[in-house]
Structures are given as C-alpha cells and as structure tokens.
C-alpha cells in the first residue's frame, strides 16, 4: 500500500488551490481535521505552518507538505517491541469491541514466531464472549500456535496467569493476551483489566510486560476517547493501528501521540496474518501525506 486515500484528497486540494492565502490555510485545516488529526492539533499545526510559509516564502506543494511532515514527526512516535529472550514477556492487547483485537493478537503471534521468537502463546482473556475464545482457538489452529483458554465466563486474569506459567515452564517466551472490550460497561471492564494488569505485572519479568491499545483507523476521533479511558485504567505503552487499508483518514496516530504521548508499535492493513508491520513514523507520514 503506497498511497492513502487521504493523500489523494490532499493532491486534489493542492490541484484546486493555487494561492497560498488565508482561505488556503483554512481549508487545509478542514481537510486535516477530516483526516483525523484532531481539531486542536490541526489549529496549532496550521497556524505555525502558515507563519513559516509566509516568513520563508514557501509556496510549493511538496515544500508545504514537508513542513507539515516535520511538525507531525514531533507527535507521531514509533516504538519497537522486542520480547526479551529467556524471559516471561506478556503483551496485553486492549481495545473496544470490533477494532481488530483478536485479529491483531493472531497477527502478532505469527509475526513474532516468524521472527524467531520461541514459545509464543495466545491467551484467550476475553472470556466474556464465547465467540472470542473460539475465534482465537481457530487462529491458534491455523497458525499452529498454542492457545491458553478457560471456559466462557471464567476469570480472565486466571487465563493470563496460566499462559504466563506455560511460557515460564518453557524457559521464557511471549504471551499475547486478548482481552474484553465492552466499553459500555466501563466500570466493570476497568476493574477486570486492572485485575489482569496486576496479575500480568507480577508474572512477567521486569520490563517485559506491555499494554497495547488497538485503535481502528476508521473510527475517527472516538479513538482519542478510547485511548484516554484505557490509558487512565492501566497506562498504555503503545498503540496498534488497524484497518489502515480501509480508511480515508488515518491521522488518529498523530492525535493520540499529541494528546497522550503514546507511540505506535504496529500498523495493520488487511485481514490476513501477514497484514501487519512494525510502525515507522517517517514511512507512515510519507504515505499519509503522499510524499513517497
């Protein structure tokens, strides 16, 4: 995937607007807000951009987009998640229903296994939905990887506990835990996640426990609210951005980076196991802005 739909919109916009007047910067702001960068971020960004373009007489499309990119690089951060060999690593995958959590757990499992990581185990810690357990087990069969699951309705922290023991018995490895995401029942969800969080913190080796929030690239600014709720509940280490293939937006990674300082670890662009790659801020912004 080289060029985003948002980049096409930008290209059209520059094709129509030849003058670099006030209206140009106002409409550029509207377009960036549509691209999900978040109103607050955009106003600050475009204000500075306008000043720089005027003072330095920058008028060309590419030059303006490069200015924009260099400012966005201040917010969009990447983080490289590498499980430590010989240790108990636990990655808890969080997010509201439908964002692509279970699929991302499976993709991550395949990614790390193919990268040479030993003992990758998926933990079905969304015990609230029977279908979620079955779905993860199916991924386990297809990927030929072990899934630790308890019965529907069981205590999710016990699932994580057992999965951690299983990798520990193998002399270390990686647990990828799928979790529940029923945000409409927020208090219960937060309590449940905090319990899993305590168990995972105690079972993982120091520095080997990570909390990853899955954000659906098509959901818009709602993603900011989701990041806020999960960040407050357990503290997030990184974001996984999904459905980048089906969004005409995609700027949410920048908005989350600006508001909460959370980096992005992976980007997903399809339903297949291989449709995931480690996030690269430079590459992402080039695609987003159509600079590649």
- The residue (of 86 and 98) whose beta carbon lies closer to ligand GDP is 98
Residues near 98 by beta carbon (within 8 Å), at least 6 away in sequence: 181, 216
If one asks whether residue 185 binds ligand GDP (CB under 6 A), the answer comes out as: no
- The residue (of 194 and 246) whose beta carbon lies closer to ligand GDP is 246
Provide the minimum distance between the beta carbon of 216 and ligand GDP in the complex, in angstroms, as a whole number: 8
- The residue (of 220 and 270) whose beta carbon lies closer to ligand GDP is 270
- The residue (of 51 and 186) whose beta carbon lies closer to ligand GDP is 186
If one asks whether residue 226 binds ligand GDP (CB under 6 A), the answer comes out as: no
- The residue (of 45 and 133) whose beta carbon lies closer to ligand GDP is 133
Please report, as residue ranges, which positions from 87 to 116 form the binding site for ligand GDP (by CB under 6 A): 95, 97-103
If one asks whether residue 270 binds ligand GDP (CB under 6 A), the answer comes out as: yes
- The residue (of 100 and 173) whose beta carbon lies closer to ligand GDP is 100
If one asks whether residue 71 binds ligand GDP (CB under 6 A), the answer comes out as: no
Q: How far is the C-alpha of 2 from the C-alpha of 20, rounded, in Å?
A: 28
Q: Tell me which of 160, 268, 281, 289 binds ligand GDP, using CB under 6 A.
A: 268
Residues near 288 by beta carbon (within 8 Å), at least 6 away in sequence: 4, 6, 7, 35, 250, 251
Stretch that binds ligand GDP, among 76-84, 191-199, 230-238, 268-276 (CB under 6 A): 268-276
If one asks whether residue 155 binds ligand GDP (CB under 6 A), the answer comes out as: no
Which single residue brings its beta carbon nearest to ligand GDP? 100
- The residue (of 205 and 245) whose beta carbon lies closer to ligand GDP is 245
If one asks whether residue 245 binds ligand GDP (CB under 6 A), the answer comes out as: yes
Provide the minimum distance between the beta carbon of 50 and ligand GDP in the complex, in angstroms, as a whole number: 35
If one asks whether residue 218 binds ligand GDP (CB under 6 A), the answer comes out as: no
| x/- map, 163-182, ligand GDP, by CB under 6 A | ------------------x-
- The residue (of 96 and 204) whose beta carbon lies closer to ligand GDP is 96
Please report, as residue ranges, which positions from 116 to 145 form the binding site for ligand GDP (by CB under 6 A): none
**Do 265 and 278 touch, CB atoms closer than 8 A?**
yes
Q: How many CB atoms lie within 10 A of CB 142?
A: 11
Question: Alpha carbon 33 to chain centroid distance?
Answer: 19
List interacting residues with ligand GDP (CB under 6 A). 95, 97-103, 181, 242-243, 245-246, 268-271, 275
């Amino acid at each position: 995937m080289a060029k985003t739909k948002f980049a096409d919109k930008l290209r059209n916009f520059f094709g129509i607007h030849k003058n670099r007047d006030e209206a140009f910067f106002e409409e550029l702001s509207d377009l960036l807000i549509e691209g999900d960068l978040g109103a607050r971020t955009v106003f600050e960004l475009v204000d500075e951009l306008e000043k720089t373009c005027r003072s330095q007489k920058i008028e060309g499309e590419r030059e303006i987009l490069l200015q924009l990119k260099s400012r966005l690089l201040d917010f969009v951060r990447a983080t490289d998640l590498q499980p430590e060999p010989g240790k108990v690593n636990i990655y808890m995958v969080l997010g509201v229903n439908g964002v692509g959590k279970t699929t991302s757990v499976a993709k991550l499992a395949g990614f790390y296994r193919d990268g040479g990581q030993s003992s990758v185990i998926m933990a079905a810690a969304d015990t609230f939905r029977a279908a979620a357990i079955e779905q993860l087990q199916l991924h386990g069969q297809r990927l030929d990887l072990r899934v630790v699951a308890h019965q529907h309705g069981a205590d999710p922290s016990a699932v994580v506990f057992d999965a951690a023991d299983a990798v520990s018995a193998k002399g270390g490895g990686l647990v990828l835990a799928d979790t529940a995401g029923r945000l409409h029942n927020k208090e219960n969800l937060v309590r449940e996640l905090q319990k899993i969080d305590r168990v995972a913190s105690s079972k993982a080796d120091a520095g080997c426990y990570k909390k990853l929030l899955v954000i659906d690239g098509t959901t818009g600014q709602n993603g900011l609210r989701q990041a806020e709720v999960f960040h407050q509940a357990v503290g997030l280490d990184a974001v996984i951005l999904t459905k980048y293939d089906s969004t005409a937006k995609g700027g949410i990674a920048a908005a989350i980076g600006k508001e909460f300082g959370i980096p992005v670890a992976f980007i997903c662009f399809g339903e297949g196991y291989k449709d995931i790659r480690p996030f690269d801020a430079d590459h992402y912004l080039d695609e987003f802005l159509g600079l590649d």
